[in-house]
Structure 1
Amino acid sequence: MATYVARQPDWARWTSRWPLWIGLAAIVVPTFISLARQVWTSEDGIQGPIVLATGAWLIARDRAAIVAAARAGSLPLGLIALLFCLILWIVGRTFDFISVEVAGMMGALFTVAYMNVGADALRKLWFPVLYLLFLIPPPGSIVDRATAPLKEFVSWAATGILSHAGYPIVRQGVTLYVAQYQLLVEDACSGLRSLVSLVAISLFYIYLLHNASWRYALALMLWIVPIAIAANIVRIILLVLITYHWGDAAAQGFLHATAGMVMFVFALLGIVAIDWLMQAVITRARR
């Protein structure tokens, strides 16, 4: 009679690497504390906790495929990559460069994953891996340069719309003058620095619903930036209207309390609406 022995998890292989886990925890814990204090409390980093939770869920959802494809990666290659990531993390931590610090931490996490499950398993997790890179906050100077032309455009567009509506508004660069008030369209006002947040959450939505159709997903992705720009134009218009009718104090209260969330929700609903319209057009074309 055949005897079947239940396969037990290879706990010895994991517990024998306890120095690695302790070292990894020494990197991950302080970095996540820094992220929570410096980035996630601001509008620029609103996507952080969402990306972390949804990225972990995506990995957990595919754990069966990961286990099936798991083969330990190259130890020498992994150690070299881990050393590089550790140096990167130390530099970021020492000089308070949060972007460099988080990049080093993420690199260390992915390297440890490679050492344990191998390249084939990580390839099956290509989207969660790329998606989790949104945890790395982009340097403010790079964001400022990248969004400078967009600030000019949204200022021009908002001024044109309000001027045609009969409001006494003029523009000089990114400074708006309405009645006796002056509004400077800075990053916090235009909301363009939250573009990274919108891109991250939109990509998650597209991947989750349209992963099987990469052409459709790509077409939908092309709408992300235009919708974000439209949402920021709406945000500036709302701020100008509140300032004009209720004063600067009311506008500042709206700006710090709800403007960012209103813009974010508006943009996400825009992505959902475009998705619905595209599917409706495709369905009708197939009839």
Structure 2
Amino acid sequence: MPESAARQSATRTSGSYFLWSALAVAAACLAYIFFDGFVEMEYRWANVEEYSHGYMIPLVAMFLFYQKIPALVALDWRANWLGPFLMVGAILGWFLGEMSSLFIIVHYSFLLSLVALAISVFGWRGFRKTWAAFVYLVFMIPLPVFLYRGLSERLQLISTEIGVAVIKLFGISVYTTGNVIDLGVYQLQVVEACSGLSYLFPLMSFGFLIAYVYNGPNWHKWTIFLSTIVITILMNSFRIGVIGVTVEYWGIEMAEGFLHDFEGWFVFMACLGVLFLLVLFLNYVIGRKASPLDLIDLSYPTLAEIKAIAPGQRKFNVALITSTILLALALPTSIYIDDREEYTPLRNTFISFPLLRGDWVGKESVLEANILEALDYPDYIQANYRKSGDRIPVNFYVAYYESQRTGSSIHSPRSCIPGGGWKISGLTQVDLAEKGLAGLNVNRLMISKGEHSQLVYYWFAQRGRVITNEYLAKWYLFSDGLTMQRSDGALVRLVTVVPPGEDVANADARLQEFLRDFYPIMPRYLPGADAALSQGIDSSSLAPAAD
């Protein structure tokens, strides 16, 4: 071998060894730093049906990356300083996510770190060839809870409306209020599990995969991917309609157990079938005659083919070294965060909340098990309070969340009220300081269903704050996680009936009178009650007074 060729071969071997060593160190650092995020993500995959497809996403992403290895091997790998710059952003996002106890930030920071590492190794040209593998990983990340619930509630309402239309096609009399389907003898509620999200998320990931490997024009690819949303809504609505029809003729058993689960599996397979027919239709429209197997590219290179490719240049990669050093510098911070526990404040539980106070007499009620499972909070109270001689009660409801770090999150009434068939006819923020309730601002809702009307007050009790804006509550959840190591919070809601012909001012007076009597003792039960302890006040003051 000529001396120059031997020297080039030795340089390439040394450069490759150094590159893979640095890459191995960076991968080890990533695994350690983001380990808690991996654990939380896998927990959601295992326990939330809508994300059960998450286990398959990394495997498919690796396949998409493997398809592009020949192009990467033949490419000159050039350092790109965009990689270290993105790595700084990924580490900052991880730190903020861990400190604020919001894993959604940690999850997306992990994806950003993978992109940063890829650009550091292959450069921008290499990343452009493998972008689909990284984008596909987005489908493994669970949505933020407040977005998930908002999307679920809208899909429930849409699916209910279309499902009822299907039932009516069979000549069946049906009435709907919100997401409740009334068949007369039976009532079916389109709960969160029937929203269609269990189809939407995996079908969208499958649609993206098909669109990417599809051999056709870009407008076909976009049509295939976006159609998964429409297909999911229509097929899930059809499923709800079929359940309603079968319940009408064969009883409530048709909506329960194995048949319900089988219908769900069958509908998902039908969604895949419709997606496949759409691909064939798109090709028929443009007059393209091709077999189904020719429409998608699932080819992959063999190891022999990869070895036969002449590799591009592998120079000393300063960008990769910089990214690896940044990850290594983050390790001590990760060790510190691992020892950091979320602070749980002292407070009284609602089991001790008084049902007798002054002239008020309360009667407590229990939420159904499936509702408690969906809302996922450790403590709550729901009770109807009446004053002696007053026939109209005040419904008092508080949901307390000890932690909103993993999955649990406050459920806004503005999202769930329409699901019960109620229409919101007015929303205002009211300062009750002039009513003897200094520092208390509430959201005031007028809601109606048919001839029935109700007045609603609600606010978010967030670590000593009274908040009426849902998005501001999310911001304080983030900031308090950083500064106070807390993510506890509560929703406080009061509801009273407004009978036909009654002045709504009377309903306002009823809720405000209840608050004047009970609001002074609420801090003992709401987030922020432990502030008294930090000021040196005797903890016995937190106990409820004898009423």
TM-score bracket for this pair, using the shorter chain length: 0.7 to 0.9
Moved segments of 4+, more than 6 Å: none
Report the equivalent of 1:64: 70
1:142 aligns with 2:147: yes
Q: Which residue of 2 aligns with 1:176?
A: 181
Considering fraction of residues, name the structure with more helix.
Answer: 1
Aligned counterpart, 2:274: 270
Q: Distance in 1 between matches of 2:150 and 2:65?
A: 34
CA RMSD of aligned residues (A): 2.8
Is the Cα contact below 8 Å between 1:176 and 1:183 reproduced in 2? yes
With the length of structure 2 as denominator, give the TM-score of the two structures. 0.47
Residue 228 (1) aligns with residue 255 (2): no
1:183 and 1:98 map into 2 onto residues whose CA distance is 35
1:188 shift after superposition: 0.9
Q: Which amino acid aligns with 2:26?
A: L
Counterpart for residue 301 of structure 2: none
What is the rounded CA distance, in whole Å, between the counterparts of 1:154 and 1:13 in structure 2? 53
Output one character per residue of 1:62-90: Cα deviation in whole Å (capped at 9) or x when no partner: 0121233332221xx53443233223224
Displacement of 1:127 in angstroms is 2.2
Unaligned runs of 5+ in 1: none
The answer (yes or no) to whether the contact 2:243–2:254 under 8 Å persists in 1 is: no
Which residue identity lines up with residue 159 of structure 1 in the other structure?
V
Q: 1:73 aligns with which of 45, 62, 80?
A: 80
SS in 2 for 1:223: helix
Percent pairwise identity: 23
Distance 2:249 2:106 in 1: 45
Q: Deviations over 1:169-219 (max 9, x none)?
A: 211111111233222223311213642321111110121123x52132233
Structure 1 distance, partners of 2:154, 2:251, is 28
When structure 1 is superposed on structure 2, of 261-270 and 248-257 the one drifting more is 248-257
For residue 27 of structure 1, the aligned residue among 25, 28, 33 is 33
Residue 153 and residue 16 in structure 1: after superposition, are their counterparts in 2 closer, same or farther (change >3 A)? closer
**Which of 15, 23, 31 is matched with 2:21 structurally?**
15
State the SS of the aligned residue for 1:176: strand
- Aligned residue runs from structure 1 range 99-110, under 5 A: 99-110=104-115
Distance 1:119 1:275 in 2: 32
Q: Which residue does the alignment assign to 1:38?
A: 44
Q: Which has the higher strand share?
A: 2
Output aligned runs, 1:252-267, within 5 Å: 252-254=256-258, 257-267=261-271
Q: Which has the larger radius of gyration?
A: 2
SS at match of 1:283: coil
1:218 aligned residue:
222
Matched-pair contact (CA < 8 Å) for 1:151–1:174? yes
Give the partner amino acid of 1:71. Answer: R
Which of 160, 163, 168 is equivalent to 1:158?
Answer: 163
Equivalent AA in structure 2 for residue 135 of structure 1 = M
The answer as to 2:99 corresponding to 1:132 is no
Distance change in 2, residues 1:284/1:11 (3 Å):
closer
* Equivalent residue, structure 2, for 1:167: 172
Q: Gapped runs of 5+ residues in structure 2?
A: 290-547
Give the alignment partner of residue 47 of structure 1, picking from 39, 46, 53: 53
The structure-2 alpha-carbon separation of the partners of 1:278 and 1:259, relative to structure 1 and needing over 3 Å to count, comes to same
| Cα separation, 2, equivalents of 1:255 and 1:88 | 45
Q: Secondary structure at the match of 1:183?
A: strand
| CA gap 1:61/1:40 in 2 versus in 1, 3 angstroms | farther
Which aligned pairs between 1:173-252 and structure 2 lie closer than 5 A? 173-192=178-197, 194-210=199-215, 212-245=216-249, 247-248=251-252, 250-252=254-256
- Contact in 1 for aligned 2:34/2:106 (Cα 8 Å): no
**Offset of 1:33 from its aligned partner?**
2.8
Note the C-alpha offset of 1:58: 0.4
Deviations 1:233-279 (A, max 9, x none): 12212332454455545523248734443332221111101111222
Q: Contact 2:111–2:134 (CA<8 Å) still a contact in 1?
A: no
**Secondary structure, counterpart of 2:79 in structure 1:** coil
Which stretch of structure 1 is more off in the superposition, 226-235 or 30-39?
30-39
